[in-house]
Amino acid sequence: MHSLNNLIIEFYDKLSSWEQSVVKDTGYSLAQVHTIEVLGSHGPMRMKELADRLGITTGTLTVQVEKLVQFGLIARTPHEVDRRSILVELTSEGTALHKHHNRMHLQLTQDITRHLDPESIKVLTQSFEKMNREF
Amino acid sequence: MHSLNNLIIEFYDKLSSWEQSVVKDTGYSLAQVHTIEVLGSHGPMRMKELADRLGITTGTLTVQVEKLVQFGLIARTPHEVDRRSILVELTSEGTALHKHHNRMHLQLTQDITRHLDPESIKVLTQSFEKMNREF
DNA sequence: ATTAATTTGTTTGATAATCAAGATATTTGG
DNA sequence: CCAAATATCTTGATTATCAAACAAATTAAT
């Protein structure tokens, strides 16, 4: 258990470094790409929910979103029922960036698992499912 | 492979959120705790190496280290052979913080793996070992 | 139905984190 | 010995962030 814990910490650390270098190549900041990633994988959402998912305040997000809109990566649309809210969603350009980032991730996953046999991959997948559920 | 990739991304995301909330409780910033974590798990090192591991410039690190020294968490000692360098290391207080953070991590690992049978944990551990090696 | 409390998003002012470029001291390789 | 490389620090500017105050809309209470 102790060693598994250390391996998880090491894994997280290496994934962070990888993410940082991959993001740097896009020309956008880590926070900006992270925003795109969340919108890409969860779909359009309101400011509050997005801020919560990113772990920042809505005040900070307002500024971030303004920049991303100017970059043409996301768009704001009024919320249909709640007129206090606005929905934030990816533009086609934002979607393209998200897909590109996703391909990088997939390539990484393929790279780091290339020495795992099919059975291990199966157990690994099931284990991640269970672990993600317990967070 | 596609689903495993998504699970890894989700895992990373949840671990980030967890880390953020745990760090907030310490009263120190994410960057500061991260610095303590690296020093705690790898031992004393020079500024350059620490900056590289943290993914920041030495200029940024100089400021960060100054703060952590004032907090009493780390100490600077001259490098024995290279007089250009200084070694950064944890104080006893810094070590205590690192141990505390490590216990949090261990508890989390126990929590999220509680529905995994011993055999899966074994495969999971081996898989992480192999994946970490391929980064 | 009217009022009070809550929620949502924005703005503002202050602080913290970061980088790039330049300066200094030291080491390394010829 | 000297030029090039390395390690750290400093400075000036930019970016990210928060907390608090605000306005608009929704929800809850009476």
* B24 contacts chain A (CB < 8 A): no
Q: What is the pLDDT of residue A19?
A: 94
Interface of A with B in 64-103 (CB under 8 A): none
Instruction: Determine the residue of chain B that is closest to A132 in CA distance.
Output: B11
Tell me which residue in A55, A126, A129 faces B17 most closely, judged by beta carbons.
A55
* A115 contacts chain B (CB < 8 A): yes
Q: What is the pLDDT of residue B122?
A: 97
User: Of B56, B53, B29, B22, which is closest to residue B40 (Cα–Cα)?
Assistant: B53
Strands (E), chain A: 45-46, 74-78, 86-90
Indicate the SS3 state at residue A83: coil
CB A44 within 8 A of CB A76: no
User: pLDDT digits over B96-131, tens only?
Assistant: 999 999 999 999 999 999 999 999 999 999 999 999
In the predicted structure, residue B57 carries a pLDDT above the cut 90: yes
Which of chain B's residues have a Cβ under 8 Å away from the Cβ of A30? none
> How far apart are alpha carbons B19 and B45 in whole angstroms?
24
Q: List, in order, residues 6 or more apart from A50 with CB less than 8 Å away.
A: A35, A38, A39, A61, A65, A88
Strand partners, A45: A88
* B127 contacts chain A (CB < 8 A): yes
Tell me which residue in A1, A11, A55 faces B132 most closely, judged by beta carbons.
A11
Domains of chain A and CATH, by start: 28-134 (1.10.10.10)
> How far apart are alpha carbons B56 and B85 in whole angstroms?
17
Each residue's pLDDT expressed in tens, for chain A with a length of 135 residues: 899 999 999 999 999 999 999 998 899 999 999 999 999 999 999 999 999 999 999 999 999 999 999 999 999 999 999 999 999 999 999 999 999 999 999 999 999 999 999 999 999 999 999 999 998
Q: What is the pLDDT of residue A25?
A: 87
Tell me which residue in A20, A41, A116 faces B130 most closely, judged by beta carbons.
A116
CB B35 within 8 A of CB B97: no
Minimal CA separation from A49 to chain B, in Å: 14
Q: Which of A15, A115, A129 to mutate to test the interface with B (most CBs of B within 10 A)?
A: A15
Q: Quick one: DSSP state of residue B73?
A: S
CA atoms within 13 A on the CB side of B12: 21
